[in-house]
Amino acid sequence: MERAAEIRRKNQDRLLYTNSRGGSLDARGHPWESVPFKHPSTFDTLAMDPAKKLEIMRDLRDFAEGQEFYQRTGRAWKRGYLLYGPPGTGKSSMIAAMANFLGYDIYDLELTEVHNNSELRKLLMKTSSKSIIVIEDIDCSINLGNRKKSCSSAGNRGGAGGGSDEGGNSITLSGLLNFTDGLWSCCGSERIFVFTTNHVEKLDPALLRSGRMDMHIFMSYCSFPALKILLKNYLGVDGGGVWKEIEAVIDKAEMTPADVSELLIKNRRDKDKAVAELLEILKERAAARCGGRRYEAVEEEQEKRAVEESKEGAEEGSEFSSEKSEEEDDEKIK
Protein backbone atom coordinates (compact mmCIF):
# COMPACT_ATOMS: atom_id res chain seq x y z
CA MET A 1 0.00 0.00 0.00
CA GLU A 2 2.74 2.43 1.01
CA ARG A 3 4.81 1.39 -2.01
CA ALA A 4 1.87 2.10 -4.34
CA ALA A 5 1.33 5.51 -2.75
CA GLU A 6 5.03 6.28 -3.15
CA ILE A 7 4.99 5.38 -6.86
CA ARG A 8 1.83 7.44 -7.41
CA ARG A 9 3.35 10.42 -5.63
CA LYS A 10 6.56 10.28 -7.68
CA ASN A 11 4.57 10.11 -10.92
CA GLN A 12 2.59 13.21 -10.00
CA ASP A 13 3.72 16.67 -11.03
CA ARG A 14 5.85 18.27 -8.38
CA LEU A 15 4.97 21.75 -7.20
CA LEU A 16 7.02 24.85 -6.52
CA TYR A 17 5.56 26.98 -3.74
CA THR A 18 6.30 30.55 -2.74
CA ASN A 19 4.90 32.47 0.22
CA SER A 20 2.23 35.03 -0.69
CA ARG A 21 3.18 38.70 -0.69
CA GLY A 22 2.70 40.32 2.70
CA GLY A 23 1.41 37.10 4.26
CA SER A 24 -1.90 37.18 2.37
CA LEU A 25 -3.91 33.97 2.03
CA ASP A 26 -5.19 32.30 -1.13
CA ALA A 27 -8.81 31.21 -1.71
CA ARG A 28 -8.30 28.10 0.44
CA GLY A 29 -6.78 30.10 3.29
CA HIS A 30 -3.23 28.95 2.55
CA PRO A 31 -0.21 31.31 2.71
CA TRP A 32 1.57 29.51 -0.13
CA GLU A 33 1.05 29.92 -3.88
CA SER A 34 2.11 27.10 -6.19
CA VAL A 35 3.01 26.40 -9.80
CA PRO A 36 4.01 23.09 -11.45
CA PHE A 37 7.71 22.39 -10.99
CA LYS A 38 9.23 21.45 -14.34
CA HIS A 39 12.95 22.03 -13.81
CA PRO A 40 14.87 19.37 -15.80
CA SER A 41 18.01 19.32 -13.66
CA THR A 42 19.07 15.90 -12.40
CA PHE A 43 22.21 14.52 -10.79
CA ASP A 44 23.14 13.07 -14.19
CA THR A 45 23.17 16.52 -15.80
CA LEU A 46 24.60 18.40 -12.80
CA ALA A 47 28.12 19.71 -13.46
CA MET A 48 29.94 18.46 -10.37
CA ASP A 49 32.61 15.97 -9.40
CA PRO A 50 30.97 12.49 -9.71
CA ALA A 51 32.31 11.31 -6.34
CA LYS A 52 30.83 14.34 -4.63
CA LYS A 53 27.48 13.82 -6.35
CA LEU A 54 27.44 10.18 -5.29
CA GLU A 55 28.06 11.20 -1.68
CA ILE A 56 25.12 13.63 -1.76
CA MET A 57 22.80 11.12 -3.43
CA ARG A 58 23.63 8.50 -0.81
CA ASP A 59 22.95 10.97 1.96
CA LEU A 60 19.58 11.91 0.42
CA ARG A 61 18.62 8.27 -0.04
CA ASP A 62 19.57 7.42 3.54
CA PHE A 63 17.43 10.32 4.73
CA ALA A 64 14.38 9.39 2.63
CA GLU A 65 14.56 5.75 3.76
CA GLY A 66 15.39 6.55 7.37
CA GLN A 67 11.99 6.80 9.07
CA GLU A 68 12.68 3.86 11.39
CA PHE A 69 16.16 5.16 12.21
CA TYR A 70 14.91 8.65 13.12
CA GLN A 71 12.12 7.23 15.27
CA ARG A 72 14.47 4.83 17.04
CA THR A 73 17.00 7.57 17.83
CA GLY A 74 14.38 10.13 18.88
CA ARG A 75 15.36 12.64 16.23
CA ALA A 76 13.06 14.77 14.11
CA TRP A 77 12.90 13.41 10.57
CA LYS A 78 14.52 16.38 8.86
CA ARG A 79 17.89 17.33 7.45
CA GLY A 80 19.65 20.56 6.57
CA TYR A 81 21.95 21.34 3.65
CA LEU A 82 24.05 24.47 3.13
CA LEU A 83 25.04 25.21 -0.47
CA TYR A 84 27.75 27.85 -0.67
CA GLY A 85 30.15 29.14 -3.29
CA PRO A 86 30.56 31.81 -5.99
CA PRO A 87 27.57 32.86 -8.15
CA GLY A 88 26.95 30.67 -11.17
CA THR A 89 28.24 27.43 -9.64
CA GLY A 90 24.91 25.58 -9.77
CA LYS A 91 23.28 26.01 -6.35
CA SER A 92 19.75 26.36 -7.76
CA SER A 93 20.34 23.45 -10.15
CA MET A 94 21.45 21.35 -7.19
CA ILE A 95 18.15 22.07 -5.38
CA ALA A 96 16.18 21.08 -8.49
CA ALA A 97 18.21 17.88 -8.83
CA MET A 98 17.53 17.03 -5.17
CA ALA A 99 13.78 17.55 -5.66
CA ASN A 100 13.70 15.44 -8.83
CA PHE A 101 15.81 12.71 -7.20
CA LEU A 102 13.51 12.39 -4.18
CA GLY A 103 10.22 13.37 -5.81
CA TYR A 104 9.70 16.19 -3.26
CA ASP A 105 7.88 19.50 -3.64
CA ILE A 106 9.84 22.73 -3.10
CA TYR A 107 8.86 25.61 -0.82
CA ASP A 108 10.87 28.68 -1.82
CA LEU A 109 10.70 30.91 1.24
CA GLU A 110 11.12 34.64 0.60
CA LEU A 111 12.06 36.03 3.99
CA THR A 112 11.54 39.66 2.99
CA GLU A 113 7.80 38.93 2.64
CA VAL A 114 7.55 37.56 6.19
CA HIS A 115 6.79 40.20 8.82
CA ASN A 116 7.57 38.44 12.09
CA ASN A 117 8.47 35.17 13.82
CA SER A 118 4.83 34.20 14.34
CA GLU A 119 4.14 34.45 10.61
CA LEU A 120 7.24 32.38 9.94
CA ARG A 121 5.93 29.59 12.19
CA LYS A 122 2.56 29.62 10.43
CA LEU A 123 4.27 29.23 7.08
CA LEU A 124 6.18 26.23 8.40
CA MET A 125 2.99 24.61 9.71
CA LYS A 126 1.43 24.90 6.24
CA THR A 127 4.23 23.01 4.48
CA SER A 128 3.73 19.36 3.62
CA SER A 129 5.89 16.37 4.46
CA LYS A 130 8.25 15.10 1.77
CA SER A 131 9.27 18.62 0.84
CA ILE A 132 12.35 20.82 0.48
CA ILE A 133 12.18 24.22 2.18
CA VAL A 134 14.60 26.62 0.51
CA ILE A 135 15.98 29.99 1.61
CA GLU A 136 18.22 31.28 -1.17
CA ASP A 137 20.91 33.94 -0.62
CA ILE A 138 20.21 33.94 3.10
CA ASP A 139 23.00 36.44 3.73
CA CYS A 140 21.17 38.99 1.52
CA SER A 141 17.56 38.35 2.58
CA ILE A 142 17.29 40.20 5.90
CA ASN A 143 19.61 41.46 8.61
CA LEU A 144 20.81 38.11 9.96
CA GLY A 145 24.55 38.56 9.74
CA ASN A 146 27.32 37.18 11.92
CA ARG A 147 26.74 38.49 15.46
CA LYS A 148 30.45 38.63 16.25
CA LYS A 149 31.14 40.85 13.26
CA SER A 150 28.00 42.96 13.43
CA CYS A 151 28.45 43.69 17.14
CA SER A 152 31.82 45.28 16.36
CA SER A 153 30.29 47.69 13.83
CA ALA A 154 28.53 50.89 14.73
CA GLY A 155 25.64 50.17 12.43
CA ASN A 156 24.47 46.99 14.16
CA ARG A 157 20.66 46.73 14.09
CA GLY A 158 19.85 43.61 16.02
CA GLY A 159 22.20 40.98 14.60
CA ALA A 160 22.41 39.43 18.04
CA GLY A 161 18.82 38.34 18.02
CA GLY A 162 16.88 40.62 16.26
CA GLY A 163 15.72 44.05 15.34
CA SER A 164 13.85 44.96 12.24
CA ASP A 165 15.31 46.02 8.93
CA GLU A 166 14.40 49.05 6.84
CA GLY A 167 11.38 47.33 5.30
CA GLY A 168 9.73 46.76 8.68
CA ASN A 169 10.70 43.09 8.80
CA SER A 170 10.99 41.89 12.41
CA ILE A 171 12.18 38.30 11.96
CA THR A 172 14.94 37.60 14.45
CA LEU A 173 17.86 35.23 14.26
CA SER A 174 16.31 33.34 17.16
CA GLY A 175 13.06 33.00 15.18
CA LEU A 176 14.85 31.59 12.18
CA LEU A 177 16.84 29.16 14.33
CA ASN A 178 13.60 27.88 15.88
CA PHE A 179 12.12 27.61 12.40
CA THR A 180 14.84 25.16 11.33
CA ASP A 181 15.62 23.39 14.60
CA GLY A 182 13.02 24.20 17.27
CA LEU A 183 9.88 22.44 18.44
CA TRP A 184 7.84 23.90 15.58
CA SER A 185 10.19 22.39 13.02
CA CYS A 186 9.01 18.93 14.15
CA CYS A 187 5.38 19.61 13.13
CA GLY A 188 5.60 17.36 10.10
CA SER A 189 8.17 14.87 8.89
CA GLU A 190 10.55 14.10 6.05
CA ARG A 191 11.48 17.71 5.41
CA ILE A 192 14.74 19.05 4.06
CA PHE A 193 15.94 22.59 4.74
CA VAL A 194 18.34 24.13 2.20
CA PHE A 195 20.15 27.45 2.64
CA THR A 196 22.22 28.96 -0.15
CA THR A 197 24.78 31.75 0.09
CA ASN A 198 27.62 33.26 -1.90
CA HIS A 199 29.35 34.44 1.29
CA VAL A 200 29.33 31.79 4.00
CA GLU A 201 31.61 33.92 6.18
CA LYS A 202 28.78 36.44 6.63
CA LEU A 203 26.47 33.92 8.29
CA ASP A 204 26.16 33.55 12.03
CA PRO A 205 27.78 30.29 13.25
CA ALA A 206 24.50 29.37 14.98
CA LEU A 207 22.89 28.92 11.55
CA LEU A 208 25.59 26.51 10.43
CA ARG A 209 25.86 24.01 13.25
CA SER A 210 24.89 20.34 12.87
CA GLY A 211 21.19 19.76 13.37
CA ARG A 212 20.40 22.88 11.38
CA MET A 213 22.77 22.51 8.46
CA ASP A 214 23.98 18.92 8.66
CA MET A 215 25.82 18.86 5.36
CA HIS A 216 27.86 21.76 3.98
CA ILE A 217 28.31 21.52 0.21
CA PHE A 218 30.85 23.77 -1.49
CA MET A 219 29.76 24.60 -5.04
CA SER A 220 33.09 25.35 -6.68
CA TYR A 221 34.31 26.68 -10.00
CA CYS A 222 34.11 24.29 -12.93
CA SER A 223 36.50 21.39 -12.39
CA PHE A 224 37.77 19.00 -15.05
CA PRO A 225 35.27 16.21 -14.20
CA ALA A 226 32.43 18.77 -14.20
CA LEU A 227 33.56 20.14 -17.56
CA LYS A 228 33.45 16.66 -19.08
CA ILE A 229 29.82 16.39 -17.98
CA LEU A 230 28.99 19.75 -19.58
CA LEU A 231 30.67 18.81 -22.87
CA LYS A 232 28.75 15.58 -22.96
CA ASN A 233 25.43 17.29 -22.07
CA TYR A 234 25.67 20.19 -24.51
CA LEU A 235 27.76 18.84 -27.38
CA GLY A 236 27.75 15.07 -27.02
CA VAL A 237 31.56 15.05 -27.26
CA ASP A 238 34.34 13.87 -24.98
CA GLY A 239 36.83 16.64 -25.68
CA GLY A 240 38.91 14.72 -28.22
CA GLY A 241 42.60 15.51 -28.42
CA VAL A 242 42.45 18.67 -26.31
CA TRP A 243 41.72 16.95 -22.99
CA LYS A 244 45.24 17.40 -21.66
CA GLU A 245 45.34 21.09 -22.62
CA ILE A 246 41.96 21.71 -20.99
CA GLU A 247 42.91 19.79 -17.85
CA ALA A 248 46.10 21.85 -17.51
CA VAL A 249 44.28 25.20 -17.37
CA ILE A 250 40.73 24.54 -16.08
CA ASP A 251 41.52 24.94 -12.38
CA LYS A 252 43.64 28.06 -12.93
CA ALA A 253 40.94 29.70 -15.08
CA GLU A 254 38.32 29.67 -12.26
CA MET A 255 35.41 29.60 -14.71
CA THR A 256 31.93 28.85 -13.37
CA PRO A 257 29.71 26.11 -14.85
CA ALA A 258 27.28 28.88 -15.86
CA ASP A 259 30.00 30.63 -17.91
CA VAL A 260 31.01 27.38 -19.59
CA SER A 261 27.39 26.48 -20.33
CA GLU A 262 26.73 29.85 -21.95
CA LEU A 263 29.72 29.42 -24.23
CA LEU A 264 28.73 25.88 -25.23
CA ILE A 265 25.11 26.88 -25.90
CA LYS A 266 26.25 29.71 -28.16
CA ASN A 267 28.36 27.35 -30.31
CA ARG A 268 26.32 24.16 -29.99
CA ARG A 269 25.83 23.89 -33.79
CA ASP A 270 29.60 23.72 -34.34
CA LYS A 271 31.19 21.34 -31.83
CA ASP A 272 34.79 21.84 -32.96
CA LYS A 273 34.44 25.62 -32.73
CA ALA A 274 32.84 25.32 -29.29
CA VAL A 275 35.71 23.24 -27.89
CA ALA A 276 38.37 25.41 -29.56
CA GLU A 277 36.84 28.65 -28.27
CA LEU A 278 36.42 27.17 -24.80
CA LEU A 279 40.08 26.17 -24.68
CA GLU A 280 41.15 29.62 -25.87
CA ILE A 281 39.07 31.38 -23.20
CA LEU A 282 40.29 29.02 -20.49
CA LYS A 283 43.90 29.78 -21.44
CA GLU A 284 43.25 33.53 -21.49
CA ARG A 285 41.56 33.51 -18.08
CA ALA A 286 44.24 31.26 -16.58
CA ALA A 287 46.99 33.55 -17.88
CA ALA A 288 45.16 36.66 -16.67
CA ARG A 289 44.67 35.23 -13.20
CA CYS A 290 48.25 34.02 -12.93
CA GLY A 291 49.44 37.39 -14.21
CA GLY A 292 47.21 39.15 -11.70
CA ARG A 293 48.65 37.09 -8.88
CA ARG A 294 52.20 37.86 -10.08
CA TYR A 295 51.30 41.56 -10.27
CA GLU A 296 49.91 41.45 -6.73
CA ALA A 297 53.09 39.70 -5.56
CA VAL A 298 55.26 42.37 -7.25
CA GLU A 299 53.16 45.16 -5.72
CA GLU A 300 53.43 43.56 -2.30
CA GLU A 301 57.23 43.22 -2.68
CA GLN A 302 57.55 46.85 -3.80
CA GLU A 303 55.43 48.04 -0.89
CA LYS A 304 57.49 46.00 1.54
CA ARG A 305 60.72 47.40 0.08
CA ALA A 306 59.36 50.96 0.31
CA VAL A 307 58.47 50.45 3.98
CA GLU A 308 61.96 49.09 4.71
CA GLU A 309 63.61 51.98 2.85
CA SER A 310 61.52 54.50 4.78
CA LYS A 311 62.56 52.84 8.03
CA GLU A 312 66.22 52.95 6.97
CA GLY A 313 65.82 56.61 6.00
CA ALA A 314 64.27 57.41 9.36
CA GLU A 315 67.13 55.64 11.16
CA GLU A 316 69.74 57.49 9.08
CA GLY A 317 67.97 60.78 9.80
CA SER A 318 68.01 59.96 13.49
CA GLU A 319 71.74 59.16 13.39
CA PHE A 320 72.46 62.38 11.47
CA SER A 321 70.43 64.39 13.97
CA SER A 322 72.29 62.74 16.84
CA GLU A 323 75.70 63.49 15.28
CA LYS A 324 74.70 67.10 14.63
CA SER A 325 73.55 67.49 18.21
CA GLU A 326 76.89 66.15 19.46
CA GLU A 327 78.79 68.60 17.25
CA GLU A 328 76.72 71.52 18.59
CA ASP A 329 77.44 70.42 22.16
CA ASP A 330 81.19 70.33 21.42
CA GLU A 331 81.04 73.88 20.01
CA LYS A 332 79.30 75.12 23.14
CA ILE A 333 81.97 73.56 25.38
CA LYS A 334 84.70 75.26 23.38
* pLDDT in the model for residue 297: 47
- Mean pLDDT, residues 196-217 taken together: 90
Highest-confidence segment of 23-37, 44-58, 153-167, 310-324: 44-58
For residue 232, pLDDT over 60 is answered with yes
- Mean pLDDT, residues 205-233 taken together: 92
- Mean pLDDT, residues 18-42 taken together: 81
CA-to-CA distance for 232 and 212, rounded, in angstroms? Answer: 36
* pLDDT in the model for residue 135: 94
* pLDDT in the model for residue 3: 64
Computed from CA positions of residues 194, 198, 200, 206, in that sequence, does the dihedral angle turn out positive or negative?
negative
* pLDDT in the model for residue 299: 47
* pLDDT in the model for residue 65: 95
Distance linking the first and last C-alpha atoms of the chain: 116
Give the least confident one: 67-76, 143-152, 180-189, 285-294: 143-152
Under the banding of pLDDT at 50, 70 and 90, the label for residue 196 is: very high
Under the banding of pLDDT at 50, 70 and 90, the label for residue 263 is: very high
- Mean pLDDT, residues 246-258 taken together: 93
* pLDDT in the model for residue 155: 45
For residue 220, pLDDT over 80 is answered with yes
Give the least confident one: 44-53, 157-166, 232-241: 157-166
* pLDDT in the model for residue 243: 86
For the segment 61-77, what is each residue's pLDDT rounded down to a tens digit?
999 999 999 999 988 89
* pLDDT in the model for residue 295: 37
Under the banding of pLDDT at 50, 70 and 90, the label for residue 177 is: confident
- Mean pLDDT, residues 172-176 taken together: 87
